[in-house]
Chains A and B, each alone.
Chain A
Amino acid sequence: MTGPTATIDGLTAPLTVAIERAVSLLGQARRVLITGLTDAPLEAIAAACDLAELLGAAVDAGADDIASPAGPILLRAGGMTADLAELRDRADLVIAWFCDSAAALATVGEAGAVAGGPRRRLVAVGPRPPTGWEHISLDAEAAVDAARLLHASLAGHEFPAGSAHAPLATGCRTLATAIGAATCVGILTQPGADPLGLAAWALARAVRCLAHAKPAFMVPLRLVPEGIVDNAAGAQTLLTWRYGAGGGIARADRTGGHFRPAECDAVRLIERGEVDAVLAVGRLPAATETAIADRASDLSLVRLDCRSDEPPRAAGSCVHVRWYRAAGTVLGQDGRERTIGDPAASIDSLAMILALLRSRLPEASA
């Protein structure tokens, strides 16, 4: 078994030396940001939080909904969710709502959830027509208006007159007819590309309105690159029970974190120079990587991840520890835990590295 490997400023270094350097960087920092976390197991996230509390660090998981100005609530208000098994077993109308047709629907297809047939109708709404689905063509920018119009239709209101709304109204009328003929409606959604949260909110309201008339639910699809652990739900859940929010934590404190949505997210903290050290646990969103690169000379970086490559870094101190593989527990979007990797391989685990950092830090601070 291969253990963790490390580099310091791009040069291969023994793990023990890299750990000591990381401890030094974090211990001497004015203010540390701990970010990433969404592809780390729960055990490692907990260890990262322990470290954050020791350092009084800011914490942000880089999740999309925390970065939204409206925060996490807007995205969840009124959502009626289910999983693919529910879709497979009950829905006679499946609507793919502005999903990426190739990747998202492939995921669903693998689960056997959208096999078409005489008793199941498949309708895709959005810019691109997936193979085998009826298609209602609407531009991506129309997602919010389409959801609002559908909601109005389901609530019994007339479609607005006027040529500006004509294509939208035609599409929604077709959809409303299909919904009217169905007994159970499953709607596939693809969270992510919704910076304000309005599209998700508008659709959630429409689905809840529909659910008053007949069984209806949304199935959010998360697209995660192959080989990447998805523990976004775990990160948000654990951070919330520890600090009262899933990110945007100004200072890690178990008695009540200082929640500053859209103020203390990772990108803003880095861009404004409010942190001078970043502990990146796992993969980071592209925007965070860009922010780190832009402030490289002012920022110490400790990176713990599985990636084999390393973004070039022109300046600033950087310790990069690659752990062997993720092992531990992750939380699915459905709220269920599952085990990944070999828990027995804890000697190589991320949690162990984080615990090691924590155990060394008081010494460094002193």
Chain B
Amino acid sequence: MTLPAPLSEPRFVLTGGTLHDPATGRDGVVADIWVEGGRIVSPPADPAGFRRVDVSGRVIMPGGIDLHSHVAGPKVNAGRLIAPQLAAGRRGTCPAAVPTIHATGLLYATLGYTTVFDAAIPPASAAIAHRELAELPILDRGIYLLAADEEPVLRAAAGTDAAKLARLLATTISTGRGWAVKVANPGGPAFWKRGRRGDQHDLDTQLPGLTATPRQVLERLATAVTSLGLPHPLHVHTANLGLPGNWRTLLETMRSLAGRRAHLAHVQFHSYSGGDLDEGSFGSGVAPLVDFFNTHDDLTLDVGQVLFGDTVAMTADAAAAEHISHATGVPLVSHDSHLAGGCGILPIAYREQTLIHAWQWAIGLEWFLTVTDPWRVALSTDHPNGACFTAYPRLMRLLGDAAFRREALAGIHPTVRSQSPLAGLNREYSLQELCIISRAAPARIAGLPHKGQLGVGADADIVVYRRDADLARMFALPAQVYRGGLLVAEDGQPRSLEPGRLLSAAVPEQ
């Protein structure tokens, strides 16, 4: 692709736009944004030399931040292989579920996103993942490392030497140039490697070959991550993903972590009622979970919303992937490396009239609509697990437009339509709240004080939208997108392919 020379202006001012900047308390305020050297600056005493860009009547937000996505590494590559027809999509035609790394950057940027984190990279694969991410255009990017999949870390987490565990995590983050520590199914790899399938029932089953339980591993990891002062707390994908009745596991996970900072990943996939392995009794277990979450401020979450369409599920929780494969009968690609974790990948087609899929869709929305504090929620589809990130504008409309949501609800499986509490939820996210869950909150949760806001000193990651009553249309096609003061996309077309920065956490010497 040939592009014009990037519009790299050291100094400019966006004038007359309507700002939605929750971090600075500006909600629909008309103000100018001054940019110099890639950052937002105070109005200068002498404005000469600042090019004026008139954005009157347009909506201005910080650049979007996806704090839980899967864009690189071995499982994403396996996803591209298993569904090549979903790797080659282009804007305007069939959207790709697992785009190439280059297309990923372009598609995110033209949606108004400027930062992305891959949420599950095995430490052993960090080097090759960074090599791939170096080809990601435009976006600032970081990775979360699956440190607890490594045998020495798991053994340390199962022991009582907190200093040793912290030291091992610090080394993993440092050598893997990671931003955060992710745990996928705490202790689960031990069951996967050594146990009989089905041995793992809850957080309190003894880990095979170790003198600890998944709950103890989880608590010790969270404490160790906090002690290291990493920007983002422990990123938790808890046990029993996708299983009926798993809301109890998530509730126990929250109880274990209460009082510590922790982030709960893709909670939609962990909020199912019903009997153990009884898919006929599948339903929503959101209510007690939200009650607990709303009263525990140290916890944050991303939803992992399911949206209908074709995609590819991929997870570092190989056991969960295999269960889904058995339950659905679709082929599974499993990359197990017994010394260093594994992953499972399978294509999936979410359908409105499929009972389980309809429940998943409704459960995600129920989470969004019943959590009281949007500052502790990050908008995500757990790309590509719930849907491709290119579906974010549709999700925003579902949240911000109750009539549209009711229309969508009318088209799903009748059992879910009648039993889900969704029909009684009339909340509509305002533009300010949509800005919070897609920008300000992810920045705060991820530990990025210079992002997700338009205050003085912030990175000049700025998105200019045309106001539109159709929120999906508005968020799908921003007029301009700036990353670090550089115009990177305009009306759906990339204007620069310059790579962004790698976000890697500094860890104290142990």
The chain A residues found within 8 Å of chain B, CB to CB, are 42, 71-73, 76-83, 85-86, 90, 208, 211-215, 217, 237-238, 240-246, 254-259, 261, 329, 331, 334-337
**A148–chain B nearest beta-carbon distance, Å:** 17
**Do A241 and B89 touch (CB < 8 A)?**
no
Within the complex, the shortest CB–CB distance from A233 to chain B, in Å, comes to 9
List the 9 closest A-B pairs by CB distance, nearest first: A244-B87, A256-B88, A254-B102, A82-B338, A337-B127, A80-B336, A259-B84, A255-B103, A240-B77
B335, A258: Cβ atoms closer than 8 Å:
no
Decide yes or no: A335 and B100 within 8 Å by CB, A245-B80, A245-B84 being known contacts: no
Q: Are B101 and A242 in contact (CB under 8 A)?
A: yes
A337 to B175, CA, bound (A): 13
Bound CA span A79–B88, Å: 26
B128-136, B393-401, B404-412, B443-451 - interface stretch: B128-136
Give Cα distance in the complex from A245 to B100, angstroms: 9
Within 8 A of A (CB), among B95-112: 96, 98-103, 106
B135 contacts across to A, CB distance below 8 A = 241-242, 254
Q: Are B338 and A241 in contact (CB under 8 A)?
A: no
Give chain B nearest CB distance to A330 CB in angstroms: 11
Asked if A73 and B124 sit within 8 Å, CB to CB, the answer is no
Determine the distance from Cα of A148 to Cα of B43 in the docked complex, in whole angstroms: 74
Contact status A79-B334, CB under 8 Å: yes
Residue of B nearest to A233 (CB): B128
Contact of B90 with A by CB under 8 A:
yes
Nearest residue (CB) in A for B96 is A256
Of the candidates B77, B101, B337, the one whose C-beta lies within 8 Å of that of A81 is B337
Rounded to whole angstroms, the CA-CA distance of A240 and B101 in the bound complex is 9
Complex alpha-carbon distance, A241 and B103, angstroms:
10
CB interface residues, B 63-107, toward A, < 8 Å: 72, 74, 76-78, 80-82, 84, 87-90, 96, 98-103, 106
Q: Is the CB of A254 within 8 A of B100?
A: yes
Task: Tell whether B193 is near chain A: CB-to-CB under 8 Å.
Answer: yes
6 contacts between A and B (CB under 8 A): A77-B332, A78-B334, A81-B335, A241-B72, A243-B100, A255-B90
- Is A334 in contact with B337, judged by CB distance below 8 angstroms? yes
Known contacts A82-B339, A83-B339, A241-B77; A256 and B125 CB within 8 A of each other: no
CB–CB A255/B339 < 8 A: no
Residues in A neighbouring B96, C-beta threshold 8 A:
256
From B78, B106, B332, contact of A78 by CB (8 A): B332
List of A residues within 8 angstroms of B98 by Cβ: 244
Interface of A is mostly: mixed
Task: Enumerate chain A residues within 8 angstroms of B334, measured Cβ to Cβ.
Answer: 76-80, 208
**How far is B78's CA from A77's CA once the two chains are assembled, in angstroms?**
11
- In the complex, which residue of chain B has the Cβ closest to the Cβ of A258? B88
Known: A86-B339, A237-B77. A244 touches B331 (CB 8 A): no
Tell me if B45 is interfacial: C-beta within 8 Å of chain A. no
Chain B: residues with Cβ within 8 Å of the partner, total of 46
Q: Which residues of B contact A238 (CB under 8 A)?
A: 131-132
Question: In the complex, which residue of chain B has the Cβ closest to the Cβ of A245?
Answer: B84
Q: Which residue in A79, A241, A331 is a CB contact (below 8 Å) of B80?
A: A241
- The answer for the CA separation of A208 and B344 in the assembled complex, in Å, is 13
CB distance from A44 to the nearest CB of B (A): 13
B196 is contacted by which of A72, A212, A259 (Cβ under 8 Å)?
A212
Bound-state CA distance A242–B77 (Å) is: 10
CB-based nearest B residue for A338: B127
Shortest B218–chain A CB gap in Å is 24
| Neighbouring B residues of A259 by C-beta, 8 Å | 84, 87-88
Question: Are A217's CB and B338's CB within 8 A?
Answer: yes
Is B194 at the interface (CB under 8 A from chain A)? yes
- With A214-B196, A254-B100 already in contact, the answer to whether A77 and B333 are too (CB < 8 A) is yes
Q: Which residue of A lies closest to B136 (CB)?
A: A241
Task: Across the interface, name the chain B residue whose C-beta is closest to A208.
Answer: B334
Distance in Å: Cβ of B416 to nearest Cβ of chain A: 32
Assess whether B81 is in contact with A246, with CB atoms less than 8 Å apart.
Answer: yes
Q: In whole Å, how far is A247's beta carbon from the nearest beta carbon of chain B? A: 11
Decide if B142 is an interface residue (CB 8 Å cutoff): no
B442 at the interface (CB under 8 A from A): no
Q: A313 to nearest B CB, angstroms?
A: 35
Bound complex: CA A35 to CA B106 (Å): 28
CA distance A82 to B194 in the complex (A): 13
Given A79-B336, A80-B336, A244-B87; A336-B124 close (CB under 8 Å):
yes
CB <8 Å contact, A73 and B337: no
Complex: A73 Cα to B72 Cα, angstroms: 19
Known: A73-B82, A77-B333. A241 touches B127 (CB 8 A): no
Among candidates A81, A242, A243, residue contacting B336 with C-beta atoms closer than 8 Å: A81
Q: Which residue of chain B lies nearest to A216 when distances are taken between CB atoms in the complex?
A: B338
Chain A residues, Cβ within 8 Å of B81: 71-73, 76, 240, 244-246
Contact: B128 with A256, CB < 8 Å?
Answer: no
Q: Tell me the chain B residues, 317-333 only, with Cβ under 8 Å from chain A.
A: 322, 331-333
> In the complex, how many angstroms separate the beta carbon of B56 from the nearest chain A beta carbon?
34
Q: Do A256 and B82 have beta carbons less than 8 Å apart?
A: no
Measured between C-beta atoms, what is the minimum distance from A33 to chain B in Å?
19
- Closest CB-CB distance, A106 to chain B, in whole Å? 23
Cβ-defined contact, A254 with B87, below 8 A:
no
Q: In the assembled complex, how far is the CB of residue A14 from the closest CB belonging to chain B, in whole angstroms?
A: 33
| Residues of chain A with a CB closer than 8 A to B80's CB | 240-241, 244-245
| Nearest opposing residue in chain A for B344, CB measure | A78
A217–B124 CB distance below 8 A = no
Q: Which residues of B contact A80 (CB under 8 A)?
A: 334, 336, 338, 342
A217: B residues at CB distance < 8 A:
336, 338
Find chain A residues with CB under 8 A from B333 CB. 73, 76-78
Contact A335 B77 (CB under 8 A): no
What's the Cα separation between A86 and B189 when bound, in Å? 14
User: Which residues of chain A are within 8 angstroms of B386 by Cβ–Cβ distance?
Assistant: none
